[in-house]
Amino acid sequence: MQIDQDLIAALYVLGFNFLGGDLVSGEIAEIKGDITIKLVHPPGEELKFVVELPSEKQMIFSVDRHRIVGLAELWQ
């Protein structure tokens, strides 16, 4: 899976750490703290944020890459 330079730059500005790009899980980047937020793009599926809560539950949100880039532009 390949992600474009705008998305990479936006994730960096937002504080994400880049992962190895596991082709099976599609994990791209994550932020860890009290909760973990991962950006994933599983094969054949849309781009998603996976929020891992302390209770070992997950919330999953579909996301458009343009919204991520737009958010990073607002932060700068």
Q: What pLDDT does 26 receive?
A: 84
Read off the DSSP letter of residue 55: T
pTM, rounded to two decimals? 0.76
Residues in the chain, total: 76
What distance separates the 2 farthest-apart alpha carbons in the chain?
34
Q: What pLDDT does 72 receive?
A: 86
CA distances to 18, 38, 67 from 35, rounded to whole Å, are: 17, 10, 21
Q: What is the rounded distance in angstroms from the CA atom of residue 8 to the CA atom of residue 28?
A: 10
User: What is the pLDDT tens value at each position of the chain, 76 positions in all?
Assistant: 457 788 888 888 899 998 876 666 788 899 998 899 999 987 778 889 999 998 889 999 998 888 888 888 887 7
Q: What pLDDT does 32 receive?
A: 92
Q: What is the rounded distance in angstroms from the CA atom of residue 70 to the CA atom of residue 25?
A: 25
